Amino acid sequence: MLIGINFTDPVFRGEYHGTQRHESDFEDIIQRALDAGCKKFMVTGSDLDESKHAIEIAKAHPGLCYATVGVHPCSAKLFDTHPGGPLALLSALRSLALEAKEAGQAVAFGEIGLDYDRLFLTPKDQQLKYFEAQLEIAVEVQLPLFLHSRAASEDFEKLLGAKLEQLPKRGLVHSFTGTIEEMQRLVALGFDIGVNGCSMKTDENVEVVKQIPLERLQIETDGPWCEMRPSHASAKFLKDAPPLPKAVKKREVLQGTHGQGTQRVCDNTSRRIRDCKNKGHHCGGSVRCGMEKLD
């Protein structure tokens, strides 16, 4: 399963920088992914409109695409400009998430969190205020969390920690770029770690990825963003690789982290989901338990 894909982005329908460059080939993109071995997609919602769009994609592709619902920290300023004010947007998110959860279309609440690398998009005070407000909704919705953290680990962990007892399904921190210590603390709290090309830009990033426990590792592309580039530290792991599709090349890097293939990771994931269903509990708080329909 691809746990992070921005299918709501116009580029997946042939639109680049506001200009339609070619006819939509969205269905062809999905088919190519299926042909490459990807069986399911979790489509990211980054604001109210994108969350609605993600749900529409899930409706149109039942059993294949699933949505997340939430407002990204870089878009948190939208709460103060929303018609009716912040409470109206929070109420709309709550209703959307609950309805989509009931319909089996939403499997996570997010993308929510903090991003101090891009305060020019939304100031720190607004990010903090609306991350906390969305965590309140998450407690009521009871979906696994789809989280974002950039250069904000102290505040991120503090706000998250205050709600942990009320969020038994935990979730995952996607596109992880933090330190080994930050990763270890999040894993200890019960969260999975999602990695993509941006997670392996530097040698330090690669060392962090090597230390992620296999049973807590999730693979994503965050497409159309976060690809692996020749300038990234991860590129040296691919220099002798055959010309394979990018998604497969990412796996080549991960395959070297513990000397074990990605099939091992996939097997562990499937086994944990089955154990969760058989035992009827939350499997130690893994996000996968909130996505039982995805097995």
Identify the CA nearest to 13 among candidates 1, 25, 3, 30: 25
pLDDT at site 237: 83
pLDDT at site 285: 37
**Amino acid, res. 126:** Q
In 3-state terms, what secondary structure has residue 265? Answer: helix
pLDDT at site 226: 87
pLDDT at site 242: 67
pLDDT tens per residue, range 256-274: 444 455 555 555 554 554 4
Architecture of domain 72-294: Alpha-Beta Barrel (3.20)
| Separation CA 106–CA 62 (nearest Å) | 11
pLDDT tens per residue, range 118-130: 999 999 999 999 9
Q: Which token pair is 159?
A: 């706000």
| CA dihedral over 209, 39, 139, 166, signed as positive or negative | negative
- 3-state SS string for 55-117: HHHHHHCCCCEEEEECCCHHHCCHHHHCCCCHHHHHHHHHHHHHHHHHCCCEEEEEEEEEEHH
**Amino acid, res. 190:** G
Report the DSSP beta bridge partners of residue 113. Answer: 148
How many other C-beta atoms can be found within 10 angstroms of the C-beta atom of residue 195? 28
The DSSP call for residue 44 is: P
In 3-state terms, what secondary structure has residue 192? Answer: strand
pLDDT at site 230: 86
Summary mean pLDDT of the chain: 86
pLDDT tens per residue, range 21-65: 999 999 999 999 999 899 999 999 999 999 999 999 999 999 999
pLDDT above 80: residue 75:
yes
pLDDT at site 195: 95
